[in-house]
């Protein structure tokens, strides 16, 4: 195990951080509870988490400011100063969206996220001090503070990358599911009563079924946000609420009513054949009108199957 991996392991196992993380997480959870706040900060209307693309703006602005400070002449000073300010302004929504995402983490991910936030907050403070020094004409001090902020920003970026790419925090948990393309039986018709929802298996994929009168709806039973079991959630107003973090999905099309989920649920069309309920990924030509009746196509094409290892 190389040094970066050993360092990350130590951070993940640093239970002393829990004393700070737990009360802060409670504050975060209360702050993001309103639906409008949750949907906005989660990226529910964007189609993927909001935090990662927002980070590009302050990172880009501060990196280019450092480049101008290092290699530009006197004529580039106004541009460098402006970039520092751009980074400061855009860091706020970036931090808020990250705060929202972090509120759903636990254990090792929560600890790494806390250190990630601390590094980025320190970088933000250094860049704020750099902006003040620049405004007062103390350019040398402003540059030094900016370079120090850049270093801490790099540390924060590494920690954020570890959360996303090594630990898979906030990735779509249904992305690797292979929805059946052919009609696949899942339950006997009599096993699903009107108003009832339950989980069944379709060709190795867990499917959540819900019956409303003569219409049967079906969507992936694994919450796209953090993998919560939707079959254990509550159903109200033809929507299911994830029991883990409260994401709400419409049965009609798998769409999101409330975050933190940002990816809709894979959705199936259904039929009754020989007394059994069958599901399949709907064909592309399926109309929106049919979708409103409970037979809507999935939100994406299935990935190619990979050989078993």
pLDDT one digit per residue (tens) for the chain, 309 residues: 688 899 999 999 999 999 999 999 999 999 999 999 999 999 998 989 999 999 999 999 999 999 999 999 899 999 999 999 999 999 999 999 999 999 999 999 999 999 999 999 999 999 999 999 999 999 999 999 999 999 999 999 999 999 999 999 999 999 998 889 899 999 999 999 999 999 999 999 999 999 999 999 999 999 999 999 999 999 999 999 999 999 999 999 999 999 999 999 999 999 999 999 999 986 544 533 444 443 333 333 333 333 333
The residues facing 199 across adjacent strands are 208
pLDDT at 282: 66
Distance CA 64, CA 55 (A): 14
Structural domain 184-292, CATH architecture: 3-layer Sandwich (2.102)
pTM value is 0.85
pLDDT at 208: 97
pLDDT at 283: 57
pLDDT at 4: 87
- Domain assignments of the chain as residue spans, ordered by start: 3-166, 184-292
Distance CA 305, CA 80 (A): 49
pLDDT at 305: 32
């Amino acid at each position: 195990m190389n040094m970066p991996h050993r360092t990350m392991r130590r951070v993940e196992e640093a239970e002393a951080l829990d004393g700070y993380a737990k009360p802060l997480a409670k504050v975060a959870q209360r702050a993001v509870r309103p639906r409008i706040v949750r949907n906005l900060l989660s990226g529910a209307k964007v189609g993927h988490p909001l935090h990662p693309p927002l980070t590009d703006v302050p990172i880009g602005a501060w990196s280019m400011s450092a480049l101008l400070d290092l290699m530009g002449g006197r004529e580039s000073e106004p541009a460098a100063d402006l970039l520092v300010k751009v980074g400061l302004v855009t860091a706020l929504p970036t931090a808020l969206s990250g705060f929202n995402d972090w509120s759903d983490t636990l254990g090792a991910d929560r600890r790494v996220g806390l250190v990630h936030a601390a590094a980025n907050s320190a970088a933000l403070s250094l860049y704020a001090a750099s902006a003040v020094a620049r405004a007062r004409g103390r350019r040398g001090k402003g540059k030094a503070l900016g370079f120090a902020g850049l270093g801490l920003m790099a540390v924060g970026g590494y920690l954020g990358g570890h959360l996303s790419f090594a630990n898979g925090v906030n990735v779509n948990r249904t992305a690797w599911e292979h929805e059946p393309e052919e009609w696949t039986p899942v339950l006997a018709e009599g096993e699903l009563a009107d108003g009832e929802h339950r989980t069944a298996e379709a060709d190795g994929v867990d499917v959540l079924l819900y019956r409303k009168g003569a219409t049967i709806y079906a969507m992936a039973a694994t919450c796209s946000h953090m993998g919560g079991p939707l079959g254990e959630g509550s159903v109200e107003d033809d929507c299911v609420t994830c029991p883990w973090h409260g994401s709400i999905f419409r049965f009609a099309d798998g769409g999101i009513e409330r975050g933190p989920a940002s990816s809709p649920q894979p959705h199936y069309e259904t039929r009754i054949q020989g007394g059994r309920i069958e599901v399949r990924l709907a064909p592309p030509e399926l109309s929106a009108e049919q979708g409103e009746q409970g037979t809507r196509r999935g939100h994406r094409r299935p990935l190619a199957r990979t050989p078993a290892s």
